[in-house]
Amino acid sequence: MTYQLRDIKGKVVVITGATSGIGKAAAEQLVEQGAKVVLNARNKARLDEIVAQLGADNAVAVAGDCGDPVVAREIASTALAKFGTIDTIVPNAGIGMYGSILDYSDDEVNRMMRTNYEGTVHVIRACLPTMLEKMEGDIIVVASVAGFRGGGDESIYAGTKHAQVGLAGGLDRELRSKGVRVALVCPAGTETEFAIGAGRTTGSPALAEYLRPDDVAFQITTIMRQPLSVRSHIWTLWSMQQQS
C-alpha cells in the first residue's frame, strides 16, 4: 500500500521573509497544494504583488518587521481574521552579511541579529497559542548549515543561526507532548537575493552551484505532509556541487 501523506489543502501557513527566495517559493508550492498563506516582509509593494499572483482567496499579507512583537501579533491576528486559524509557522526572514566581525556598522549588525533571531522568536510567540489550543501544528524554522558550524567569514551570522538551532531544540522538547512539531530546515548556500551586496555578488558563477529556493521549499512542504504520528527535527541540504 502506498504510504499515506497528509493532505494540506486548507491548512493555514504563516511565512516571514516571503517576498523572494525561499519564502516566496514556499508560498507558491503551498498554494499549489491547496494551502492558505499569510505572508510577511518589510516591502509592502512586493507583498501586494505576491498576493495578487497567488489570489486574494489564498493569501494575505502584513508588511513590517517581524522582529517587532507588535508586528508579529498583527501577523497572527490577520491570519485568524482572514482564515480562522493557524496550522504552521515558517520563520524564514533572514539577513546575511559575510566578512569580518568588524566589517559592518552597529546598525547593520543589530538589524541582522534582530531579524534572524528576534524575528523567529516573536512570530512563534504570536502564532503558537492557536496551535496549542488545537493541540496540533508545525513550527518549521528556516535556519542554515551555519547553525552547526560557523565559517571564518560569517561569525555573527552563524551566531544567529546557532541561536535558531538552540531555540528549536528547546521548543521541540517543550511542545512535542502538546501536539506541536518543531523542525529545522538548514540549507547550505541558496541562489537568492540573500547577502547580495554583503559578501555575494549578483551573477557570480558560484551561485549557479547553489541550491535553488524550490529545493528548500520542497522540504518545508514535505515536513508538513508527514503523518501526524511522525516528527522529524533536523533537515540539512546541500546541492551536489557544494562541500558539506
Catalytically active residues are 157
Residue 187 CA: distances (Å) to CA of 40, 72, 209: 21, 25, 13
Selection from 109, 115, 131 nearest residue 40 by Cα: 115
Whose cell is 558550524? That residue is 149
Q: Give the C-alpha separation, 144 to 185, whole Å.
A: 7
Q: Give the C-alpha separation, 81 to 91, whole Å.
A: 20
Per DSSP, 5 falls in state P
The H or E element spanning position 88 is strand 88-90
Selection from 27, 77, 81, 29 nearest residue 49 by Cα: 27
Instruction: List the Cα angle 111/113/116 in 5-degree steps.
Output: 100
Question: Any idea of the CA torsion for 161, 159, 179, 187, to the nearest 10 degrees?
Answer: 20
Question: Phi, psi at residue 25, to the nearest 5°?
Answer: -65, -40
